[in-house]
Amino acid sequence: MKPVGLRPNCFAAERVVLQMQKLTVGELIEATGGTLLCGDIAQPVCSITTDSRKATPGALFIPLRGENFDGHDYIGAAFEKGAALSLSARPMEPVAGKTIISVEDTSKALADIARFYLKKYRVPVVGITGSVGKTTTKDMIYSVLNQQYNVLKTQGNFNNEIGLPLTVFRLEREQNMAVLEMGMSAFGEIHHLVDIARPDVAVITNIGMSHIENLGSQEGIFQAKMEICDYFTKDHTLIVNGDDKFLWTVRGHEAFEVVTFGIENKDCDVVAEAVENLGIDGSRFRVELDGSRYEVCIPTPGVHNIYNALAAICVGRRYGVPMEQIIRGIAQFRLTEMRLSVEQAHGITIINDCYNASPDSIRAALKVLGSVEAARKVAVLGDMLELGEFAKNAHYELGGEVEKNGTDVLLTAGKNAEHLAIGARDAGLEAVYSYKTTEELAEQIKRYVKAGDVVLVKASRGMHFEKICEQIRK
């Protein structure tokens, strides 16, 4: 892998939050192909928002349309908050002292401005997608690259057609690299995001079952994820999980460089060996690169995080980060909130993994629960969403995984999770209790957990299982 020469990071860890870099009204018009209805073409743009309530003095307001709302109804409110500029896809009368740019479609204009902005202040971009582990991989790659560079990364779940452009606008003058997460639920969505961001390096973590309802099959998911390479040439690099049967097929691609990582597949470019599961304290493994052996420690639970670390090693090497710094970056990595976060409450250990769920991520979380020593192991699981016709079987099969990983008690909430409970009973687990809603289970959770228990709490984001964690804390 060829290292890329970038300006080393010489900035303090705590940085002052700056406004976006300079854009003018004239550049907005150039980016969007819009027409100036009123205002000064030389006026600078201080910040961009799609929420009128968050408009600040000098801000550009971009009114977006949804199924049940139209941001154009709040242009006046944004101006009252201090916004100096607004786009509009509606006919509008001039507003004294304000700038309005007419565009055909405000959502397209948001993407156009982000593309223009990123091109103007060009920095290397790492794009990350996959069915499971995108956010954790993004955070780990950020921790590695931030050892040597000043890195912008996606915050939270800002990984869609609105969130990614808003992330791009956070690019500060001091930053010389961007790590951008790219989510999708249908064909064409990753293509749209890479058309904006044009990543130089892309990472695909795996091909699972997430969004299979819209994409029809894992083959369809694979095709949709591969859209991340739609603008790749021989100068670009795709980094993939070589233990994944779909992603392994892209090795040796003629159009761009492919780097593989894995645990089971010893033919990968970067392979984890001597893997040790340290339970709730994390994991440890060894890699051999360029004739040298290195021990890598991950401070967060779950052997599956080794895949994320391997991806971070590949990206770090691609950008010339020395292995010693890569190892330090992985050791300093911290999980995003509600992703296998470990906390204590009243003698109970809570493994809070409420951010989202899929069959693969629940299997991984159950393995974490199974690796922990405790008086009792309690799994609190809810519906996995967007599985369509696959939902019943996917939930039922996970019931067997609950029993296989040594869970003592299973609690479920949700219609589909009832099939998970049935699967667990059929596999031989006796202590299984089901509720129809998250709220009902949250009200009763104190009946089932006690000091000395380790409790895994996990479901799709729409189930709001953080309510259960809150009840345990009380």
Please classify residue 19 by burial: count the beta carbons closer than 10 Å to its beta carbon, then call 0-12 exposed, 13-18 middle and 19+ buried: middle
* pLDDT score of 215: 82
Six token digits for residue 53: 């309530």
CB neighbourhood size of 158 (10 A)? 18
Pure H helices in 248-390: 305-318, 323-332, 359-371
State pLDDT tens for residues 175-195.
999 999 999 989 999 999 999
What's the mean pLDDT in 413-432? Answer: 97
pLDDT of 156 higher than 90:
no
Among 315, 330, 307, which Cα is nearest to 244's?
A: 307
* Mean pLDDT lowest among 17-21, 270-274, 296-300, 397-401: 17-21
- Residue 287 sits at the vertex; the CA angle it makes with 282 and 293, to the nearest 5 degrees, is 120
Place of tokens 């006796």: 430
How confident is residue 15, by pLDDT bands cut at 50, 70 and 90?
A: very low
If one counts every other C-beta atom within 10 angstroms of the C-beta of residue 252, the result is 8
Name the nearest CA neighbour of 229 among 175, 265, 190, 196.
190
Residues 201-206 have a mean pLDDT of 97
Torsion of CA 26, 27, 31, 32, to 10 degrees: -30
Is-above-0.85 flag for pTM? no
> DSSP 3-state assignment of 19?
coil
What pLDDT does residue 262 have?
98
Could you give the strand order of the β-sheet that contains 453-458, starting from the edge strand earlier in sequence? 341-345, 348-353, 453-458, 376-382, 409-413, 432-435
Mean pLDDT computed over 43-58 = 93
Number of H helices, E strands in the chain: 15, 23
Cβ-contact 159, 183 below 8 angstroms: yes
pLDDT grade for 386, boundaries at 50, 70 and 90: confident
Res 356: pLDDT: 87
Q: Is 51 a residue whose pLDDT tops 80?
A: yes
HSE (CB half, 13 Å, CA atoms) of 152? 28
> How much of the chain is helix, strand and coil, in % rounded to 5?
35, 20, 40
Rg (CA), the chain: 24
User: pLDDT tens-digit profile of 317-370?
Assistant: 999 999 999 999 999 998 777 788 889 999 999 999 998 899 989 999 999 999
Distance between CA atoms of residues 233 and 92, nearest Å: 44
CA distances from 79 to 48, 76, 99, 104, 187 (A): 13, 5, 10, 21, 37
Using one digit for the tens of pLDDT, what is the confidence trace for 82-111? 999 999 999 999 999 999 999 999 999 999
- 386 — alpha (psi -120 to 50), left (phi > 0) or beta? left
- Phi and psi based region of residue 443 (left: phi greater than 0; alpha: psi -120 to 50; beta: remaining): alpha
The confidence score (pLDDT) of residue 11 equals 27
- Show Cβ contacts of residue 69 under 8 Å, excluding neighbours closer than 6 positions: none
Per DSSP, 404 falls in state H
Percent of the chain with pLDDT over 90: 84
Check residue 17 and give its pLDDT: 28
Residue 209, both tokens: 């079952």
Calculate mean pLDDT across residues 399-420: 96
Locus of tokens 């799994």: 379
**pLDDT (0 to 100) of residue 16:** 28
Mean pLDDT of 287-303: 95
pLDDT score recorded for residue 426: 97
Residue 140 above 70 pLDDT?
A: yes
Place 9 in a pLDDT band, splitting at 50, 70 and 90. Answer: very low
pLDDT of residue 341: 86
SS3 423: helix
**What integer pLDDT is reported at residue 132 of this predicted model?**
87
Quote the CA–CA distance of 235 and 2 in Å, as a whole number: 10
Band of residue 8 on the pLDDT scale cut at 50, 70, 90: very low
Quickly tell me which residue has 């020469």 as its tokens: 5
Name the residue with higher pLDDT: 279 or 126.
Answer: 126
**Mean pLDDT for the chain?**
92
CB distance 131 to 210 below 8 Å: yes
pLDDT digits 0-9 by tens, 343-356: 999 999 999 999 88
87 strand-pairing partners: 101
